[in-house]
């Protein structure tokens, strides 16, 4: 078995590499490479651990033929082409909690620096001036802080601001009224926040929806003299518009730790009165760097060794403790999805995934991903759990998840149904001994079979002599039958279903000969 290898391509606390080695993973620390140099070596690695310097582009991902996971030691992932990673089945993880307190504290520090004009007062005093009357600050007590983004970091900022006796209003489309009450903030729309806030601080990812959320038009809606802080991502603020607003006095002060283009060697905002800048220091504390390095190494190791998925940007989370229990179900799900994909030909508009018994209590997202991976791998060998849901959505496939509380014939059951032009096609499976996947129903026919290796699916008239003729034909072709599973659509005549496991694959010539046997209605070679 090939040893798992991870590349650390940005400077990171040495504890990250130590964790990989402790878990039996080979790790190389190679930093400062150009994109071309990185592309030349990335094909050797199963995992890539980065901070903000490495740009994981589509070209890098195309060269990363073994890559399974990219781990970002930090929050922002705008240096990773997530759609391209997803398309190639690569999990993208971040560490959203390792530097949360550090970033929140930096935002509060910048708010105080703006309120009391600390950088300018320091420069003036050290220049030998004593300009007490020039630096008239404002108190934060009693002021309104507007949070744009009320997630992990935003909630920490809110708690600190409430401790300073500020009023906090928050705009976040995902913030529920119940969570707002729990945080002690008032949930508002963006226009309300802009018109009421004395200080505005941003704590939201950079997306198509949030890019330039503080645009020229929105800055014009703010309360005159507002002070703005951004420790989140560059690109959330129109920097040229902010410069104009600072010059006009519409904005009373601004503090940016992040810029649209980094490193920010020049900016129209530099040397503007009442403007403070820091070089992306939000996560720059010893504690935060240690935390994110440890977290990214642990998360990547859990995924590469155990299948655990934590803080992934492009697939459901699956804890390392949960993964062993789910693995047999995911194996069953993938086999059932593959079976439907190989047998349900023609246009498929809807795929339904149902669980009952013990399976109904499980996390369904990984199971659904496994069904889709098996279903779609019939048409592409690059499909896996990561990209299958995206590919299914792109193709307009309606995927439905259904849980049943009822108890059936089996202690646990997974059923996959495809709606085709020929009607509903349903297969079902269970786990024997809670570990061995077993097919128990095939298109309405009760049949028990292991889905392994090369198989042959046959629908034929239920008449005497057919099994003998089939055995003779396969024997003449030097194809040995491993197991033989028979089910009837109806008792005493009608059609029967045969599912054979074979020691060798069945070629087109043999399939044609089987199709020519009297009474045969359908023949499909299968592979698992």
Task: Tell me what pLDDT residue 207 has.
Answer: 79
Q: State what percent of residues in the chain have pLDDT above 70.
A: 97
Pick the last residue of a domain from 451, 485, 506.
Answer: 451
Query: Rounded to whole angstroms, how far apart are CA atoms 427 and 449?
Result: 12
Over its C-alpha atoms, the chain yields an Rg (Å, rounded) of: 30
Pick the last residue of a domain from 434, 451, 468.
Answer: 451
What CATH number is given to the structural domain containing 94? 3.40.50.720
What CATH number is given to the structural domain containing 429? 3.30.1330.90
Task: Tell me what pLDDT residue 283 has.
Answer: 83
Condensed to tens digits (0 to 9), the pLDDT of residues 158-188 reads 999 999 999 999 999 888 888 999 999 999 9
pLDDT band at residue 493 using 50, 70 and 90 as cut-offs: low
pLDDT at 9 over 80: yes
Section 337-357 average pLDDT: 85
**Are 165 and 78 in a shared domain?**
no
CA torsion through residues 328, 329, 330, 331, sign: positive
| Known active-site residue 515 | no
Which 3 state secondary structure label does DSSP give 197? coil
pLDDT at 228 over 70: yes
**Are 386 and 502 in a shared domain?**
no
- Count of structural domains within the chain: 4
Task: Tell me what pLDDT residue 316 has.
Answer: 75
**Are 61 and 143 in a shared domain?**
no
Average pLDDT, the chain: 90
| Given the residues 23, 51, 203, 280, the one annotated as active site | 280
Mean pLDDT is highest, among 98-102, 150-154, 248-252, 455-459, for 248-252
**Are 271 and 123 in a shared domain?**
yes
Section 388-403 average pLDDT: 82
Order the strands of the 495-502 sheet from edge to edge. Answer: 481-488, 495-502, 454-461, 520-527
Section 342-359 average pLDDT: 84
Q: Is residue 312 one of the residues assigned to a domain?
A: no
Q: Is residue 217 one of the residues assigned to a domain?
A: yes
Which 3 state secondary structure label does DSSP give 454? strand
pLDDT at 434 over 90: no
**Are 143 and 240 in a shared domain?**
yes
Section 193-218 average pLDDT: 94
**Residue 506 lies in domain:** 452-528
Q: Is residue 443 one of the residues assigned to a domain?
A: yes
pTM assigned to the model: 0.64
pLDDT at 346 over 70: no
Task: Tell me what pLDDT residue 310 has.
Answer: 85
What CATH number is given to the structural domain containing 500? 3.30.70.260
**Are 9 and 90 in a shared domain?**
yes
**Are 437 and 361 in a shared domain?**
yes
Q: Of 7 and 306, which is predicted with more confidence?
A: 7
Task: Tell me what pLDDT residue 8 has.
Answer: 97
Q: Is residue 342 one of the residues assigned to a domain?
A: yes
Task: Tell me what pLDDT residue 206 has.
Answer: 84
Pick the last residue of a domain from 433, 451, 469.
Answer: 451
| Given the residues 106, 203, 233, 377, the one annotated as active site | 233
Section 109-117 average pLDDT: 97
**Are 294 and 269 in a shared domain?**
no
Condensed to tens digits (0 to 9), the pLDDT of residues 70-96 reads 999 988 788 999 989 988 889 999 998
Where is average pLDDT lowest: 105-119, 281-295, 303-317, 356-370?
Answer: 303-317
Which 3 state secondary structure label does DSSP give 457? strand
Section 348-364 average pLDDT: 89
pLDDT band at residue 19 using 50, 70 and 90 as cut-offs: very high
Interstrand relation of 520-527 and 454-461 (parallel, antiparallel or unpaired): antiparallel
| Known active-site residue 105 | no
**Are 436 and 502 in a shared domain?**
no
Q: Is residue 104 one of the residues assigned to a domain?
A: yes
Section 244-253 average pLDDT: 97
**Are 17 and 114 in a shared domain?**
no
**Are 440 and 456 in a shared domain?**
no
Instruction: Enter the tokens of residue 234.
Output: 């560059």
Order the strands of the 69-72 sheet from edge to edge. Answer: 26-29, 5-8, 47-50, 69-72, 91-93
| Known active-site residue 211 | no
Q: Is residue 314 one of the residues assigned to a domain?
A: no
Condensed to tens digits (0 to 9), the pLDDT of residues 25-51 reads 999 999 999 999 999 999 999 999 999
Task: Tell me what pLDDT residue 344 has.
Answer: 79
Condensed to tens digits (0 to 9), the pLDDT of residues 126-148 reads 999 999 889 999 999 999 999 99
| Given the residues 62, 131, 182, 262, the one annotated as active site | 262
Condensed to tens digits (0 to 9), the pLDDT of residues 442-485 reads 888 888 888 989 999 999 998 888 999 999 999 999 999 998 88
Q: Is residue 40 one of the residues assigned to a domain?
A: yes
pLDDT at 396 over 80: no
pLDDT at 492 over 60: no
Interstrand relation of 423-432 and 436-442 (parallel, antiparallel or unpaired): antiparallel
Instruction: Enter the tokens of residue 500.
Output: 């054979």
Condensed to tens digits (0 to 9), the pLDDT of residues 499-519 reads 999 998 899 999 999 999 999
**Are 335 and 466 in a shared domain?**
no
Task: Tell me what pLDDT residue 380 has.
Answer: 63
pLDDT at 385 over 80: no
Which 3 state secondary structure label does DSSP give 431? strand
Q: Is residue 283 one of the residues assigned to a domain?
A: no
């Amino acid at each position: 078995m090939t040893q798992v290898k991870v590349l650390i391509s940005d400077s990171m606390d040495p504890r990250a590499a130590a964790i990989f080695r402790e878990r039996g993973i080979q790790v190389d620390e190679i930093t400062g490479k150009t994109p071309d140099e990185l592309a030349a070596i990335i094909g050797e690695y199963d995992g890539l651990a980065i901070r903000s310097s490495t740009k994981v582009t589509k070209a890098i991902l195309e060269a990363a033929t073994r890559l399974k996971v990219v781990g970002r030691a930090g929050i922002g992932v705008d240096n990773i082409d997530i759609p391209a990673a997803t398309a190639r089945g690569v999990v993208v993880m971040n560490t959203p909690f390792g530097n949360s307190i550090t970033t929140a504290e930096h935002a509060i520090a910048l708010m105080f620096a703006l309120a009391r004009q600390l950088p300018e007062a320091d420069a003036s005093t050290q220049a030998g001036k004593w300009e007490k009357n020039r630096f008239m600050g404002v108190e934060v007590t009693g002021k309104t802080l507007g949070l744009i983004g009320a997630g992990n970091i935003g909630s920490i900022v809110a708690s600190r601001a409430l401790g300073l006796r500020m009023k906090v209003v928050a705009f976040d489309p995902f913030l529920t009224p119940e969570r707002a009450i729990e945080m002690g903030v008032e949930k508002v729309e963006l226009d309300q926040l802009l018109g009421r806030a004395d200080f505005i601080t941003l704590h939201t990812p950079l997306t198509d929806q949030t890019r330039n959320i503080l645009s020229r038009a929105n800055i014009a809606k703010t309360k005159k003299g507002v002070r703005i802080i951004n420790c989140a991502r560059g690109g959330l603020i129109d920097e040229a518009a902010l410069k104009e607003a600072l010059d006009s006095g519409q904005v009373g002060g601004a503090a940016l730790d992040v810029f649209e283009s980094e490193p920010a060697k020049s900016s129209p905002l530099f040397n503007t009165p009442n403007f403070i800048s820091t070089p992306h220091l939000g996560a720059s504390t010893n504690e935060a760097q240690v935390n994110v390095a440890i977290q990214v190494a642990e998360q990547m190791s859990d995924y590469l060794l155990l299948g655990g998925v934590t803080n992934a940007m492009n697939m459901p989370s699956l804890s390392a403790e949960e993964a062993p229990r789910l693995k047999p179900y995911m194996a069953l799900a993938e086999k059932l999805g593959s079976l439907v994909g190989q047998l349900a030909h023609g246009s498929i508009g809807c795929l339904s995934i149902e669980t009952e018994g013990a399976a109904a209590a499980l996390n369904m997202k990984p199971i659904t991903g496994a069904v889709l991976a098996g279903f779609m791998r019939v048409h592409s060998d690059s499909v896996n759990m990561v990209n299958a849901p995206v590919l299914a959505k792109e193709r307009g496939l309606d995927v439905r998840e259904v849980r049943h509380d009822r108890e059936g014939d089996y202690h646990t059951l997974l059923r996959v149904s495809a709606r085709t032009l020929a009607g509903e096609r349903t297969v079902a499976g269970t786990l024997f001994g809670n570990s061995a996947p077993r097919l128990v129903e095939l298109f309405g026919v009760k049949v028990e079979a292991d889905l392994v290796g090369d198989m042959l699916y046959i629908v034929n008239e239920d008449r005497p002599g057919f099994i003998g003729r089939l055995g003779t034909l396969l024997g003449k072709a030097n194809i040995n039958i491993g197991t033989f599973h028979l089910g009837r659509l109806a008792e005493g005549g009608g059609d029967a279903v045969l599912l054979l496991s074979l020691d060798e694959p069945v070629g087109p010539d043999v399939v044609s000969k089987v199709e020519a046997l009297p009474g045969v209605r359908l023949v499909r070679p299968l592979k698992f």
